[in-house]
Amino acid sequence: MTDVADGFAWIPAQTAVLGSDAHYPEEQPAREVSVDGFWMQTHQVTNANFAEFVSATGYVTVAERPLDPADYPGAPPQNLQPGSMVFHRTAGPVDLRHLSQWWTWTPGASWNHPRGPRSTNRGREQHPVVHIAFEDAAAYAQWAGCELPTESEWEVAARGGLPHTVYTWGDEPERPGERLANYWHGEFPHLPDTGYGQATPVGSFPANAYGLYDMAGNVWEWTTDWYGDRRDDQPCCAADSYDPGQPQFAVPRRVIKGGSFLCADSYCMRYRPSARRPQQVDTGMSHLGFRCATR
């Protein structure tokens, strides 16, 4: 087990094989990457942690700020209100090609109103904070005297010193009855098994060999890397990370890692260390949080 102090675990310098040639195209190519040693936060930042930051600084998250219609050409007026994207279970099976069936833009949703303006974090103090845009995560990290991890640092930490394994715990998937990570168990997106289908308090599942919790599932986590479609095609600047499929939105994208409680093997098997997704930096969601690192 690696040294742990003040909620951070030491990740030793190493060269590891990162990425994957056996799963989603954006994970390619698998290749050796070297990282220096660093400290990684053992838990995802919680609602209680973030509330302390807001109380100390008066910080207002991106989801709570008014929107400029000029930044969102063609957006319906009802969407041009402060808010965020909230997951809702469907009533039954749906076409998994259409995310809009379970994601809803929700005015008033934010870190302290996670399901909309009438919801609160009461009883969820130790859940990971969500609806966090990249700017929000970076502001918290600076206040805490930390930084956000790079994609390579995050993936090395998630592997816990194991070789190039499929999961944070090894090459074999969970066996029936095991509880190794908070990802979607059951029929997505309408019928999760009991105890799944939502975020859980940090540390509810076993830590990896470095003493890090929830490096698989629970909520996605921000990294500092600009998103490119391949692991060996690292964009040099924000503009190179724009989504070519949405040219009307000149919004940079960064890499998020770790998957979430919404990752289902039948739909989005991205709770693996090599998995990655792009996320527009101005957009928080109800399954997106972060953790900090120090170097």
pLDDT digits (tens, 9 = 90+) for 5-59: 689 999 999 999 999 999 999 999 999 999 999 999 999 999 999 999 999 999 9
Task: Report the pLDDT value the prediction gives residue 5, as an integer from 0 to 100.
Answer: 67
pTM of the prediction?
0.95
Whole-number Å distance between alpha carbons of 154 and 292 = 10
> Among residues 140, 121, 292, which one has the least CA distance to residue 201?
121
pLDDT in tens, 229-288: 999 888 999 999 999 998 888 899 999 999 999 999 999 999 999 999 999 999 999 999
2 falls in which pLDDT band (50, 70, 90)?
low
**Predicted confidence (pLDDT) at residue 135 exceeds the cutoff of 90:** yes
DSSP state of 45: P
Q: Is 4 a residue whose pLDDT tops 80?
A: no
Model confidence over 194-217: pLDDT tens digits? 999 999 999 999 999 999 999 999
- pLDDT reported for residue 233: 87
Q: CA 90 to CA 191: how far, in whole Å?
A: 8
Whether the predicted pLDDT of 62 surpasses 60: yes
In DSSP notation, 11-27 reads E--EEEEES-SSS-GGG
Specify the pLDDT at position 1.
45
Local structure of 4: helix, strand or coil = strand
Q: Give the model confidence (pLDDT) of 258-274 as tens digits.
A: 999 999 999 999 999 99
pLDDT for the residue numbered 148: 98
Tokens of 268: 């989005």
Q: For residue 98, what pLDDT is reported?
A: 94
Nearest to 160 by CA among 152, 151, 173, 169: 169
Span 107-120, mean pLDDT? Answer: 97
pLDDT on residue 49: 98
Nearest to 155 by CA among 79, 208, 83: 208
- Residue 78 in this model has a pLDDT that exceeds 80: no
β-strands 31-35, 14-18 pairing: antiparallel
First-to-last C-alpha distance (Å) of the chain: 19
Q: How far is Cα of residue 98 from the mean position of the Cα atoms in its chain?
A: 21
* Rounded Cα distance, 276 and 259, in Å: 8
The tally of CA atoms less than 13 A away on the side-chain side of residue 192 is: 17
